[in-house]
Structure 1
Amino acid sequence: MKKSIRIIGKIILWFFVIIVVLLIISALAHKILTSMEKDKYKIGKTIDINGKHMQAYVTGQGDKTIVLLSGLGTASPITDFMPLADRLSADYKVVILEYFGYGFSDTTNAERSNEYIVNEIRTALNQLEIKGPYILMPHSISGVYSLYFAMKYPDEVEAIIGIDESVPNQTKFSKDPDMSHSLTLLNTFGIIRDVSYLLPDAWDSKSENNNYTQEQIKLKKMATAWNSLNKSVINEFNMVNKNTEELYDVKYPDNLPVLAILAKESVDTDNYWLPLHQQLITNPSIQKVETLAGGHYLHWTNADKIAELAKEFISAN
């Protein structure tokens, strides 16, 4: 009996040793591959903000500047917005910023509050020597940051054109629990990368991302392995409730042109989605809500229509 127990004990010990060794190999491989991939596929310009590197992409030569701001946890904002940026760049200067923890940007321990993120956006635009006022085009959570930007620095915001953008009062209806920081281990040990190899179909977004080239789809998949569940994204996720509460019941200034382009799937799924956006309006003559067929990532499948609506709206205002 004692001999059997010792054998079982050794098997369990060796099992854990093998698991630890595999995790170490996975972590090292992930770190090396991430560094190599980022160097090889880097797009845009790297700027310095408070000692950290942030990535930006600038295209187009128009007199007006559109700043594209991504949703929470978008792995590669530059790639994600590329089809839309290409269409907008025919008429406007277009800037895509990758927040810390996104795309090719560094991670950071800095607080992911409205104030910090908006100041980072402003610093990045200043580093790029692009003067305002800006037309902010936020997707998802960046709608909250854009509203904060417009309230605090009204002279720097010419208009807001949202893509199924978040609004502050939505967390009155739906709040998410905090995300555990231990989840960063999935990123550290390269487990998300491992899953992408074992289950490639789970990362196959060709059917939804029909505006993207094969190279762009490949980069989006790689960026998912780089950035999913890193410390910056988790910190930002855990600040959502506080950031929205800071702006509860705030409405758009009545002199600010606003176009909210909502996804029909979001409107149909949450009966409060459309009314919450309508409640922000103070001047219907320059503030409007449109609905497009599609899901939350409207720019994946509706880049042409979004660009068309944006151009019409900007021309009219």
Structure 2
Amino acid sequence: MEEKNTPLLVDIGGRLLAVRTEGEGVPTVVLEMGLGAAGSIYDAIAKQIAYFTRAVWYDRAGLGLSDPASTPRTIQDLARDLHFLLQKTGIPGPYVLAGHSLGGPVVRFYRERYPDEVAALILIDSSHEDQRERCLALLPPKSSDEAGNLAQLRLALERQWKDPNANEEKIDNLANSQLLRTCQSLDDLPVTVVSRGRSAQDPTKYPPGLVEAMEQAWRQMQCELARLSPKTQHVIATRSGHMINKDEPEVIVEAIRQMVIQVREQCKL
């Protein structure tokens, strides 16, 4: 590999993906970002992880320094890209895959397709396959004079969620939900679910009780993710909104550190 923190451009079959690695040791921790986020958003966290094991983070297709790919895309495409990237770079497994938001479904699907490569998962305020339908069910009946914030939320859930062209990476979220429904068990894989502790929205901008109801639904979905494996730890980042990596990065680093210790003990690494 090149000098630490210098992006390496890796050909995964006619396209280049930019990857960084730092630290030594096993298991290797691979960071998967949220929708539209280049790998650099996790630079600081990756450097902390590198104190106790190897950290790998990268730019998905069309982000940062990586080449674009044909669209629309699904978590199947993203998992395949990551698989080829890790193979081409020769970065050793087993892997602890840590995925934030959209990255949660990506790492879940990766484990479904390549189970022998994955030692553990960290799901960081991860998206859930049913979140669109459950959030839509909480909205009040549509009215011709509804407030702008509510109208924008309804538009995002009713139309933009279904349209891959409405997000930065041209991700097909409806197809992703169907794919995730094939990943309903993680067997006895070690998993840590890290969930936000405070609302991602300002409740004063929406009808009374709506944000609270949506947060309750989100907490329920996070608990459902924690039940995908009997070997799950559920950690609440009490001072964080959705961007836990900015609000409480130390919570993520500690969750990963504890998982690395657990995997080393179980696998005798």
Q: Which range, TM-score by smaller chain? A: 0.7 to 0.9
Q: Rg larger in 1 or in 2?
A: 1
| Corresponding position of 2:207 | none
Cα offsets for 1:35-62 (capped at 9, x unmatched): xxxxxxx941111122111100101102
| Structure 1 residue 80 displacement after superposition | 0.6
1:180 Cα deviation from its structure 2 partner: 7.7
Structure 1 residue corresponding to 2:35, chosen from 72, 83, 93: 72
1:143 is displaced (CA, Å) by 0.7
Residues of 1 paired with 2:25 and 2:199: CA distance? 32
For the pair 1:146 / 2:128, whether they are aligned, the reply is no
Aligned in 2, Cα 1:180/1:170: closer, same or farther, shift over 3 Å?
Answer: closer
Q: For residues 63 and 313 of structure 1, do their structure 2 counterparts lie closer, same or farther at Cα, with a shift above 3 Å needed? A: closer
Is residue 120 from structure 1 mapped to residue 81 from structure 2 by the alignment? yes
| Conservation of the 8 A alpha-carbon contact between 1:65 and 1:132 | yes
- The 1-side partners of 2:183 and 2:69 are apart by 29
- Residue 177 of structure 1: aligned partner: 159
2:21 is the alignment partner of 1:61: no
CA RMSD of aligned residues (A): 2.3
Shift of 1:266: 4.5
The Cα shift of 1:160 comes to 0.5
Q: Could you say which residue in structure 2 is the equivalent of 1:296? A: 242
AA partner of residue 246 (structure 1): L
Residue 107 (1) aligns with residue 89 (2): no
State the 1:149 CA deviation.
Answer: 1.1
Identity over aligned residues, as a percent?
23
Q: Tell me, in whole angstroms, the C-alpha distance in 2 between the residues paired with 1:129 and 1:110.
A: 27
Q: So what's the TM-score if we normalise by structure 1?
A: 0.64
Q: Which residue in 1 is equivalent to 2:180?
A: 247
Structure 1 position 287, deviation (Å): 0.7
Q: Report the secondary structure of 1:67's partner residue.
A: strand
AA aligned opposite 1:109: S
For structure 2, the 5+ residue unaligned runs are: 136-156, 201-211, 264-269
The CA deviation at 1:316 is 3.2
Distance 1:164 1:180, change over 3 A: closer
- The worse-fitting range, judged by mean Cα deviation, of 293-302 and 304-313 is 304-313
The number of residues matched between the two structures is 222
* Runs (4+) off by over 6 Å: none
Q: Is the 8 A contact 1:147 1:252 kept in 2?
A: no
Structure 1 segments unaligned to the other structure (5+ residues): 1-41, 184-228
Higher share of residues assigned helix: 1
CA–CA separation in structure 1 for the residues paired with 2:59 and 2:14? 16
1:287 maps to 232
